[in-house]
Structure 1
């Protein structure tokens, strides 16, 4: 059964429609998880720390794809809801072309500045050289990773979420296979480069296949073609997606601060332990992000079509699903903490202990995490980029930065793990305030 944006969404239909984008985001998160597993177990702790140290910077430069994907999708889906499919298709083409060009420019800039940036993040000696090797290899395919992040949203808006899942799955399998071959078989000094090549090639696959699909005649509602420069549309897409851009950039900045604090309080072991937590957290948070990506075009469509009863139903059902998911994730994290730590750092008992104790604290943020992520995405879908950006700004920058700078002075390393929990609780409070204050916007 084909599910269309114009349908009435029950719980079952909403879950079915959002499962593919959830899986897409999980597969994307698995890129880093797979690299982390192979690098940690076969290249060593220093190489593993280098990946964790430079990854936040790489995600910052790639996040323009997520911005144009989420922000552009909101505008395109709303335009379809109004009834102008031709204009929506022109917008789609414009956003793809602009995102790719920006990806090229950022790749060149990042390649040039990777050494001073790595040093700014605290890398020295062997750690610094590893950061440069890993970062430069991934920057060579950055434009295609930007497109992959963009298409994750547009596959849903094109009513082809399952095709998006297949593409992301193909990229993920490519990464897994190449990691197994290159990291295991290459000599020790080349294992980190092998992991980077595996990820870079998978990102190339994830960006090129959708390009080919949308350039050719296809069965979706979009096709890449001629367009004209529309500064107003680009600005609107950037404004809509500014929250997602802000969220990803802020999370990367916070990740850098976490690493700096951990180097201070726990050394390279702290960075490695935090890396394990980030890998697991990325998979759990990917569920919430994927759900928001999947629900956003539906929300935007019904907002454009002025189907406010459906809009209210989508909000209510989403909040219920997020609450249940958060509790399930917390339970799973507590039960699997030791197992997950041993997968990545089982070769070091001290590191396993530090990772498990920290992760059990860190995981208590999961029941709260989904609400702020969805709240930001909800306002993006309503083309209210300012409110969406404010939620993301408070959640990922103001609250987390404040917590990670203050709490370690009171509780040491445990204060670092507790920072994310405090930030997520505060974000839920402010998200609820915005949903209540703006309820007239969605006629609740």
Structure 2
């Protein structure tokens, strides 16, 4: 019996060795570049665009690139949102990374510091940065290196229903330029039946967060300034949360929560279904309206209003960069594809199909001035031209990579628990200061 048991353990041990050897061989094989029948090296390009106009135009650009050179073939690999970066991190650690990947533009420096991406500066022409918006180019730099190229970005704006504006005897010239005007016009657009709101003119925290309004109020300064000084507990940010609480009190938490519970996509979208007259959103929400709104649905866009008439109308943008993960075998060839994807021509094609704000400013200017878009569709790129100087990008500080959880915890205490804004922001400031000290 003991002998039989020993044999079973030996067989189990041999199976484990076989399985481990197979995994090692698989990783070893994965490190070997595959080639096509005509000798091209296959490079994997990972992104999260799995369907719709963005996925289609990316594939068109890949096909175009593959047909115009005989060195490599780009293979598109879709990874679901939320999974892509975890998988990429694991693959990079295992020495089997993708060749090119779409990454969050605000965390480029973090990956560079962690040696998870490749410094591309030796491949980059000296004047290439002139094609990009300065605040985007800043995000891909770490120390003396360039660790990716900006691909696209965005901008937070407000969409409005033209019909509802007319019904309230308002003209486009009346669109708000300050927070005070925004409140006044929003309440003119409200529709109330008894004690219930049938329609809300505007609520500032649907789709964009309090951090956007905070930097809008505070001279474009987010939770950290450009020198990584902590700027959470400032007078203007305290005023911002007092203002947001005022909106919450006016409509009531129950009204806000009930309205949010009914939000959906397509025709049930609250802006399309006219439950909301003005709707803050990312500028590429335009794509959803083009796809889902009825033909007679007329809308416009205006920038986030300034806090006061003497302030600028600051807004926020995020976006993505294209990087080569550490350990990729064909860096020059990967960079060549990245350079193609951020070229003016490729970015024009992508923008014309997605209505994204492209990182290449020349592409946005061409979309505005050229004939690839209708005059109606150019509204996006006119907004970009008029307002991108006031668009703030907020790279995550290396001194406190996880600070946002601490800030959000106190914001929840303000907006959900009713905590005094000054007390909560003071606590958030102290918590982040402690975090920075711990990371020194």
Please classify the TM superposition score into its range, dividing by the shorter chain length: under 0.3
Q: Tell me the TM-score normalized by structure 2.
A: 0.22
Q: Tell me the TM-score normalized by structure 1.
A: 0.22
Larger fraction in helix: 1
User: Which structure would you say has the larger Rg?
Assistant: 2
Larger fraction in strand: 2
